Amino acid sequence: MRKGSIKNNRISNEVKRELSAIIRDEVKDPRISGLISVTQVYVAPDLKTCKAYISSLGNGGSLEDTIKGLVSAEGFIRKELARRLNLRNTPQISFIADNSIAYGVNMTHRLEELVAQIPDREPEEDDKYEN
């Protein structure tokens, strides 16, 4: 199976869906708290390894603790993946921190602050006809 093939993408999406459900419903590690999101999953073409990008929004800077908790629960997560998915090999999962959600929220707040600082202006001729 080639990287980027339709079958590989389908397997990656299925692993992402099941991994999200396992983390949300089954893993009981106290280090895994807040809103945890599996943003992307890349499964290798040979199905032996998998990179899972994890994002956390909530309780402060707990993303590092969340990753540590997931790494310690990897055996349980792999066992659950093997039980739920019918794959020849259950991939070994590498959990990688993804700060994209927090970055997006931060940029949105900055843009809102900038818009609030702009003084009201007179509408130009082009703006008069837009609505």
User: pLDDT per residue over 57-97, tens digit each?
Assistant: 765 557 888 899 999 999 999 999 999 998 888 999 999 99
What span, in angstroms and rounded, lies between the C-alpha atoms of 53 and 87? Answer: 21
Question: Torsions phi, psi of 3, nearest 5?
Answer: -70, 135
What is the tally of structural domains in the chain? 1
Q: Establish if 126 belongs to a structural domain.
A: no
Q: Are 91 and 48 in contact (CB under 8 A)?
A: yes
Name residue 70's amino acid. L
pLDDT for position 128 = 58
Q: Establish if 36 belongs to a structural domain.
A: yes
What residue numbers bound the domain in which 98 lies?
6-120
Nearest to 91 by CA among 27, 128, 41: 41
pLDDT at 112 over 70: yes
Q: Establish if 127 belongs to a structural domain.
A: no
15-31 pLDDT tens trace: 999 999 999 999 988 88
pTM: 0.75
Q: Establish if 40 belongs to a structural domain.
A: yes
pLDDT at 129 over 90: no
Q: Establish if 128 belongs to a structural domain.
A: no
Q: Establish if 95 belongs to a structural domain.
A: yes
CATH of the domain at 31: 3.30.300.20
